Structure 1
Amino acid sequence: MIARLPSRPTAQAGFTLVEVMIALMIFGLIAAAGVAILTFSVRAQTATGKRFDDIAALNRTASLLAGDLGQAVDRPARDEGGTLLPAFTGEGDGRIRFVRTGWANVDAAPRASAQKVAYQLDGNTLLRVAYPMLDGAAPLPAVTLLDKVAGVGARYRYKGAWSDRWDGTQGAALPQAAEITVRRTDGTAFRLMLLVGAGSSASPVPGGFPNPGGSPTPAATGTPPGQRNGR
């Protein structure tokens, strides 16, 4: 009789513990990288959205300033106490008060087509204040135009001369132009050159004046417009 030798045990297919740990480590690294990329994308999208909102607020501020100043008129108005104030008053810190025309009356309310408005800085927020009536009325709730404002500067031009203050004693009720500088808390600054009482419009340009043609002009150095670049 021929004796049969015992057969070898068949090999079992599978992964060792080391292989499983290596696979889990690789999966963990991939998952961590995916989370990091997703977090960066969300943060970038949030920052971009805030930047776009800030640019939109800056453009709205420039449009409001241009529209209001462009329609300023020689119309003195009384404050809440009945004191008669000049048609246009402006300070070097950006506080401006004047009367503008073109106030739309969509609800046919019994009021004038002109409106008294004011711009002022409250902390780090630039505000626009409007009045329901020209004389003796308390202001309406202020509207926030721009936040993160470190400071506002203003100059007023009349017959080629610049002044840091306007109170109507400079020879005319209204200046011919106003230069508004807005300094932000992040160190940036925007400068606007706006005509007063001429229906002008402008857009903010960092470090320079807006140009109605769309291209920025050099920053102000005290030289009247039209005399730069040798003109």
Structure 2
Amino acid sequence: MTGAPLGVGPGVRADEAGFTLVEVMVSLLIFGMLAAAGVAILSLSVRAQQTTGAKFDDVSALNRTLALMSGDLGQATMRAARDEGGTVQPAFTGTSDGQMRFVRAGWSNIDAAPRASLQKVAYRVEGGVLQRIAYPMVDGAAPLPATALLTNVDRVSARYRFKGAWSDRWDGSQGAPLPEAVELSIARKGGQGYRAMMLIGTGYAPPPVPGAANAAP
């Protein structure tokens, strides 16, 4: 009398008894590879989304900065101002590294505060951050805390136009209180550069030109 194969009951073929250990291990390996691939794709997608969001935020900050500077410069006036010590300063001063100080008109007064519509403002780069400094009064007042406008700034260069000529500084000794325009070049950390020309006292600037910070004049 011949018995049934070991582990197989009557009426059950040997090839229907279940998965072997090798088959289970192969299945688990394939599942693990698919799961790892899924996690990698999801992680890559999240990082790409974060990078894109950060880039959009940076571009928005740049556009806001240039719009604010253009608005300030477009409303610059010939009004001279006094510093905290009472010394009279030129209506507009500017250096080759983009530091500017001037008095602008059109300062909105929503709360009807007892002040003029003129405002003294300044721009500077400190610690890789482009800052705007406002003063509560045109004459003799200490500045308010600086407002950070743009981060990751490597360097800023500026030149000032008057009667068809460019100068790397302005202090009012060139024959007029205000220059006609300023060309501002901003180099960001990472290599990206922008250049914008802004009219002073008469209008507003065109949008920035990407990658033109080192372009020839």
TM-score tier, shorter chain, comes to over 0.9
Structure 2: distance between partners of 1:114 and 1:42: 47
How far apart, in 1, do the equivalents of 2:139 and 2:18 lie? 91
CA contact (8 A) 1:116 1:131 kept: yes
Count of residues in Structure 1 that have an aligned counterpart in Structure 2 = 208
Aligned twin of 2:148: 144
- Residue 76 of structure 2 is aligned to residue 69 of structure 1: no
**What's the RMSD between the two structures over aligned residues?**
1.4
Q: Which runs of 5+ in 2 are unaligned?
A: none
Alignment equivalent of 2:27, drawn from 18, 23, 30: 23
How far, CA to CA, are the matches of 1:141 and 1:202 in structure 2? Answer: 29
More displaced, 11-20 or 146-155? 11-20
| Alpha carbons 2:197, 2:205 under 8 Å: kept | no
Shift of 1:7: 5.5
Partner of 1:156: 160
Answer whether contact 1:62 1:202 (CA < 8 A) is retained. no
1:173 corresponds, among 159, 170, 177, to 177
Flag the 1:150–1:208 CA change in 2: closer, same or farther, 3 A: closer
Residue 13 of structure 1: CA displacement? 2.6
Deviation digits for residues 98-121 of structure 1 (CA, Å, limit 9, x no counterpart):
000010000000001011000000
Do the aligned residues in 2 keep the contact of 1:118 with 1:129 (CA within 8 Å)? yes
Q: Kindly state the Cα deviation for residue 81 of structure 1 after the two structures are TM-superposed.
A: 1.3
C-alpha separation in 1, matches of 2:115 and 2:216: 40
User: After superposition, where does 1:150-229 map in structure 2 within 5 Å?
Assistant: 150-208=154-212, 221=217
TM-score normalised over the length of structure 2? 0.92
- What percent identity do the matched residue pairs reach? 62
Question: Residues of 2 paired with 1:92 and 1:53: CA distance?
Answer: 28
What is the rounded CA distance, in whole Å, between the counterparts of 2:64 and 2:208 in structure 1?
10
Q: Shift of residue 181 of structure 1?
A: 0.5
Counterpart CA distance in 2 for 1:24 and 1:208 is 55
- Which consecutive residues of structure 1, in runs of 5 or more, have no partner in the other structure? 210-218, 222-231
Counterpart in the other structure of 2:36: 32
TM-score by length of 1: 0.87
- 2:23 matches 1:42: no
1:208 deviates by: 4.3
1:50-129 correspondence to structure 2 within 5 Å: 50-129=54-133
- Quote how far apart the aligned CAs of 1:48 are: 0.5
Change (3 A) 1:49 1:76: same
| Alignment check: 8 A CA contact 2:93 2:171 kept | yes
- 8 Å CA contact retained: 1:63, 1:202: no
Q: Assess if the C-alpha contact under 8 Å between 2:196 and 2:205 holds in 1.
A: no
Q: Aligned partners of 1:47 and 1:56: how far apart in 2?
A: 14
- Contact 1:182 / 1:189 at 8 angstroms: preserved in 2? yes
Moved beyond 3 Å, runs of 4+: 9-12
Contact 2:74 2:204 in 1 (8 A): yes
- SS of the aligned residue for 1:72 comes to coil
Deviation by residue 1:95-154 (Cα, 9 ceiling, x = unmatched): 000000010000000001011000000010000000110001111111111000000000
